[in-house]
Structure 1
Amino acid sequence: MLIAYIVSRIRSHLRYRQSIRELTKLTDRDLEDVGISRHEIDLIVSNARF
């Protein structure tokens, strides 16, 4: 059970990091089109459910 929990947490963190990478690659204009600003990326990804 502990191993499954650890694997789950690792996968969640990897998805979090991937989301951060993808959003930071977008231009400010692209981010504006989806309704977020660059300084909100971490907050939005942190609040996302993975």
Structure 2
Amino acid sequence: MSLKKSFREWRRYRETVTMLSRMSDHELRDIGVQRGEIVSVARHGLG
């Protein structure tokens, strides 16, 4: 994997973690995510 692609994927991961972390528990529940799953969801996607 190229360095450029690795960086893009890492940046997307961090943006996803940040976005989900800023959501309320109610908003997370609406999309089917628990707060403790944020890292896993960011790493692997919703499905």
Between the aligned partners of 1:28 and 1:11, the Cα distance in structure 2 is: 28
Tell me the number of residue pairs that the alignment of Structure 1 and Structure 2 aligns: 45
Q: 1:28 matched to which residue of 2?
A: 25
Q: CA RMSD in A?
A: 1.3
Tell whether 2:12 aligns with 1:10: no
Structure 2 CA distance, aligned partners of 1:47 and 1:15? 11
Q: Any unmatched runs of 5+ in structure 2?
A: none
TM-score (norm 1): 0.83
Rounded Cα–Cα distance in structure 2 between residues aligned with 1:7 and 1:47: 19
The sequence identity of aligned pairs, in percent, is: 27
Q: Within 2, Cα distance between the matches of 1:45 and 1:15?
A: 8
The runs of 5 or more residues in structure 1 that have no matched partner are none
Larger radius of gyration: 1
For residues 38 and 26 of structure 1, the distance between their equivalents in structure 2, rounded to whole angstroms, comes to: 9
